[in-house]
Amino acid sequence: MSPLQTYYSFSKGRCGELSDEVPQLDEPFRTLYESAAAACIAAFESKPEKWVLAEAKLSQVNISNAAFDCFDRDTYVLLQSLISFHHQFPGYRVIRGQAISSRTSCPLITEISPDHGPQQGGQEVQVRGANLPSTVVIDFGGAVVSGVSINGVEATLTTPSSDVPGPTDVSVHGYAFTSKVAYTYDPPSQTSEPAGSP
């Protein structure tokens, strides 16, 4: 079981799936996501007795551990917020809202411009987003290209070629779960032959 899958279950509020996945994790992830599972059940399934376990497990987590990725740190921050809310409003019911991907600390892409170009590639495009590393590696479907990020929000890169025309997903390499935008490869222009033969 991957911590990423467990994070995904937590971010979607799937408490049952999360509880089933946690025992399959190794440390340090297990303790973090045991806290997440308990908080999920306490907050969204109206079982306030689980708050004690959520707090106890969270107090054992050293979030500066190098094994943790950005999505684990996002989990930690969300847990702190849920527990803090519970302390301020102990009897209140928590209702899940719409997820906002821009609140993540993980690299994400929000826009690509232009968003279409030639199938043979070679077009310069601007990728905009958040938390982009200084050298950002971008997935264009099955191909990867790199570019230099400016202030973590913008990078210029050159599109690779594609075997087929049409839309392809574009995401930060290794972080497709955070966000994807589409880039469309235009079909090659075709010149029509004059009618008849000379």
Indicate if 84 and 106 belong to the same structural domain.
no
> Residue 92 has what pLDDT?
82
Would residue 45 count as lying in a domain? yes
Q: Which residues pair with 127 in a beta bridge?
A: 112, 155
Q: Quick one: 129 and 175 in the same domain?
A: yes
Task: Count the domains in the chain.
Answer: 2
In this structure, is residue 192 part of a structural domain?
A: no
Do 12 and 48 belong to one domain? yes
Strand partners, 118: 186
Residue 198: inside a domain, yes or no?
no
For residue 57, what are its two tokens? Answer: 């497990």
Q: Let me know: does 147 contact 127? Beta carbons within 8 Å.
A: yes
132 lies in some domain: yes
Where among 88, 112, 147 does a domain terminate? Answer: 88
pLDDT at residue 102, rounded to an integer: 52
d(CA 111, CA 194): 41
SS3 content of the chain, % helix, strand, coil (to 5): 35, 25, 40
Domain residue limits at 168: 102-186
Same domain flag for 106 and 177:
yes
Give the C-alpha distances (Å, rounded to integers) separating 148 from 106, 127, 151, 154: 17, 10, 10, 8
pLDDT given at position 191 = 47
Q: What tokens appear for 145 in the block?
A: 């290209």
Q: Has residue 50 been placed in a domain? A: yes
pLDDT one digit per residue (tens) for the chain, 198 residues? 789 889 988 988 899 999 999 999 999 999 999 999 999 999 988 899 999 999 999 999 999 999 999 999 999 999 999 999 999 998 887 777 665 545 688 998 999 999 999 999 999 999 999 999 999 999 998 899 999 998 899 999 999 999 999 999 999 998 888 778 999 999 987 544 555 555
Q: Determine the straight-line distance between the first and last CA of the chain, rounded to whole angstroms.
A: 67
Q: Is the dihedral of CA 63, 64, 65, 71 positive or negative?
A: positive
Last residue of a domain, one of 55, 88, 121: 88
Q: What is the pLDDT of residues 31-56, one digit of tens each?
A: 999 999 999 999 988 899 999 999 99
One domain for residues 10 and 71: yes
Would you state the pLDDT for residue 8?
86
Assigned domain for 93 exists: no
Domain end residue (candidates: 88, 118, 136): 88
Closest by CA to 178, choosing from 120, 75, 109, is 109
